[in-house]
Structure 1
């Protein structure tokens, strides 16, 4: 009986040692994984439904930030794309939301907002002030972050004066804050029926791929610095 008890205790102790070793191995693996993840720099895409990939069958793979992540991965660049697009977002909404998102460290900030302001005919001065406030928040929190602004235009039926003023604010904000600048996010997509969904506003998967190219043409320069 004593021999059986002794054998049982020996097996129990050996089992415990084995579990500790396995757990230690698991922790090491986790720590290694976390360490590797920590080496990646964050690119925050901050925008509305155009960034979120509204209406696409699979936004997680078809939105333009996801397509840009594919390009980054293929080049083995140490960056992680974070899609912070929110459908219906105005610049005022973005101004209210940005603080919460800046809890995550940001290395590159890509700003895509203003389209919904334009479609609603909101005052251009208000849109400009909100965009500047968002940029100021990022610069204050992460002064070393590199900044990219994606320009937007509104349909001509908004009137010549409004469309011209609206277009100008993006370049002015970019120049004032030394931001890399994409003049028109939807270049070569807007107004082309086969590249847009039925609403005539949001790109199809094919259109989103062109949008990704528009952004990547400027963003790759930023990432190479």
Structure 2
């Protein structure tokens, strides 16, 4: 091979590698990790929150893939037991949404906080960023329970400097037209409302990931 041909081949190879690296750098792999609210209870897969959010982000021109790691009925204890194998290597960020079932079951908020904090710590140890989705205790649990449960999320977000969405069901929880017949889970319209409200926070989260913050 002549020297000029070798140089041309080498330059072409280098450019291919550089372009490939750029594509990989621009692609963002996320995991939606949570309970039935994330899994898409009684909804087709394309209407689950991760799928709808992925589409909304792609419509904004962002190269994002969001894996649905929601498990219906999951508690923070269940999440902690599966966080390591449910979030694969190469994941850039996790949308962490758990705690609703803890509150419904009256699990001591102190235990929920401990589990959430342990999940956050494990993800950070792996270099995976966390967007924390907050939850609020249902009114029937009483004011004392709410006073112990509701601050968990903003306090953990502040402690670990996390991107934070205060209430995952914002805009849906009080509107029966946006929920299934069980009165608890969002229907397709409800998920759309959730995604619309969540989108600016997700965009900010992805922008930070792209900068390596």
TM normalised by structure 1 equals 0.79
On the 8 A contact 1:185/1:214 being kept in 2, the answer is no
How many pairs were matched up?
Answer: 188
SS in 1 for 2:164: strand
Deviations 1:31-50 (A, max 9, x none): xxx98985522111100000
User: 1:122 maps to what in 2?
Assistant: 107
Counterpart Cα distance in 1 of 2:92 and 2:52? 19
Deviations 1:1-51 (A, max 9, x none): xxxxxxxxxxxxxxxxxxxxxxxxxxxxxxxxx989855221111000000
Which residue of 187, 190, 200 maps to 2:183? 200
User: 1:46 maps to what in 2?
Assistant: 33
User: 2:7 maps to what in 1?
Assistant: none
SS in 2 for 1:84: strand
Residue ranges of structure 1 left out of the alignment (5+ in a row): 1-33
Which residue of 56, 62, 85 maps to 1:71? 56
Counterpart Cα distance in 2 of 1:103 and 1:69? 18
On the 8 A contact 1:191/1:200 being kept in 2, the answer is no
On the 8 A contact 2:28/2:206 being kept in 1, the answer is no
TM normalised by structure 2 equals 0.83
User: 2:205 maps to what in 1?
Assistant: 222
CA-based RMSD of the aligned residues comes to: 1.7
Counterpart Cα distance in 2 of 1:103 and 1:85? 14
Counterpart Cα distance in 2 of 1:53 and 1:104? 24
Where has structure 1 moved over 3 Å in runs of 4 or more?
Answer: 34-39
Specify the structure having the higher radius of gyration (Cα): 1
SS in 1 for 2:150: helix
